[in-house]
Chain A
């Protein structure tokens, strides 16, 4: 079954860190770029980060650049998002989404990150 499954969310204090995972099955990350997209409670979608299939390209949204890091473990077909210096406004459901010709054809169910003291 072709899918991506996110995990690693939880409650963290402001200034803290968290690592999210996105496990791919039914396809390999070496063939597709993958993105992280987040959605704050009751709000719209915000693009967060991308890692290309060959790892030659990675980029971040302005609101997370310098604080979040995207990476992957090819042997596990798993994508990661390291979140540091977390802020209350980072509270959101974080989705992993597969890139096909620059649009997102496959989404996971998301993992909730809550930043609160």
Chain B
């Protein structure tokens, strides 16, 4: 079973700064099968990025995804007030399994 480890657990930044979130898989993951979700308090998760690089409908272009193999990154260029939230990476496997990382909280410094 592939385990996803996100780091850091909490990221304290100011509006306007760049956020770099990491998601590391215990085994190599196809880049076609990595997604990122944003969750705000009291709300459902929302798809941000799928297939490692592709922005979902409505995702601002300040969000970008990258990576391959076991290391994947979500970058937020120029944090806006509405970006402070928890972010989860997700692997969807060709063996039809779905795994989430434990989440990274981006908080206002």
Whether A103 touches B47, Cβ cut-off 8 Å, given contacts A35-B98, A44-B103, A50-B98, is yes
Cα distance A45–B103 in the bound complex, in angstroms: 8
A108 in the interface, Cβ–Cβ < 8 Å?
yes
Q: Residue A105 at the B interface, CB < 8 A?
A: yes
> Is B72 interfacial (CB-CB < 8 Å)?
no
In the complex, what residue of chain A is closest to B47 when comparing beta carbons? A105
Given contacts A50-B96, A103-B50, 10 further A-B contacts (CB under 8 A): A45-B45, A45-B103, A46-B100, A47-B98, A50-B98, A95-B44, A102-B98, A103-B35, A104-B37, A105-B47
Q: Are the C-beta atoms of A57 and B96 separated by less than 8 Å?
A: yes
Q: Check if A109 sits within 8 Å of B44, measured CB to CB.
A: yes
A104 to B33, CA, bound (A): 12
B63 interface residue, CB < 8 Å from A?
no
Q: Provide the residues of chain A in CB contact with B35, threshold 8 Å.
A: 103-104
Q: Identify whether the interface residues of A are mostly helix, strand, loop, or mixed.
A: strand
B90 within 8 A of partner (CB): yes
Distance from B99 Cβ to chain A, minimum over Cβ atoms (Å):
7
- Interface status of A59 (Cβ within 8 A of chain B): yes
CB <8 Å contact, B45 and A95: yes
Whether A107 is near chain B, meaning CB under 8 Å from some CB there, is yes
Closest B residue to A6 by beta carbon equals B44
| Cβ contact of B99, chosen from A47, A97, A105, A110, cutoff 8 A | A47
Per-residue CB proximity of A72-114 to B under 8 Å, as 1/0? 0000000000000000000000010100011111011110000
Scoring B residues 39 to 58 as 1 if CB is less than 8 Å from chain A, else 0, what string do you get? 10001111100110000100
